[in-house]
Amino acid sequence: MLTAHGTPNRTSELAELRAAVLRTALVLTHNRADAEDLVQIAFMRALDRSGTLDADTNWPAWMKTVVRHLAVDLARRNQRWRLTELLDTLHAATQPDETPDAPWSKVSPEQLEAAVESIDAHYRDVYRLHHHQGASYAEMAEQLQIPVRTVGTRLHRARGRIRDVLVKTLAAEACPLAS
């Protein structure tokens, strides 16, 4: 049963309307807490505007439309937050590690050069071209006459091998009796 303004006036009708609007919100948000928040906001807007809407307003459709718009606003807001979090994470990851106790802070240039010398020549060449001469992947590929993807693979493997050698070197220095 509806009042003169077309608003539901019985508890069961309100419960049915809430359930229908909640289903719509759940489909849109895939999150029960967000969906319930949207339904609550939609009902608050319905109460605020109940006297200003036409008597023949289709309340279920109006409420679902409000929830749909609120869901879009929520998705946009969450997208901005995710982008901000991603940018913050990227910024933090690109900042130098200033921890004085970081193991890599104890690596001397001589140890690094010895580690570079100890890896296979095809990895060493790519590493030196990139880190010492600042060559791009395309420049290295052209100079070494290998595909660009191979350059990336070799550079990745060179860094891993250098890291492994340095880890062993640092471990041996930390505990000379263990070697």
What amino acid occupies position 179? S
117 CB-near residues (< 8 Å, 6+ apart) = 124
- pLDDT value of position 157: 94
105, two tokens: 């802070």
Distance CA 25, CA 19 (A): 10
| pLDDT surpassing 80 at residue 25 | yes
What amino acid occupies position 2? L
CB 165 within 8 Å of CB 130: no
Tell me the average pLDDT across 95-120: 77
Q: Please return the burial class of 105, using the count of CB atoms within 10 Å of its CB with bins 0-12, 13-18 and 19+.
A: exposed
| pLDDT surpassing 90 at residue 47 | no
Across 14-28, 43-57, 152-166, least confident range? 43-57
Across 65-69, 98-102, 117-121, 126-130, least confident range? 98-102
What amino acid occupies position 9? N
Mind listing the pLDDT tens digit for each residue in 121-145? 999 999 999 988 888 999 999 999 9
Better-scored residue on pLDDT, 155 or 80: 155
Going along the chain from its start, the domains and CATH numbers come out as 11-94 (1.10.1740), 103-178 (1.10.10.10)
- The helix/strand/coil state of 8 is strand
Distance CA 8, CA 57 (A): 11
- pLDDT value of position 100: 55
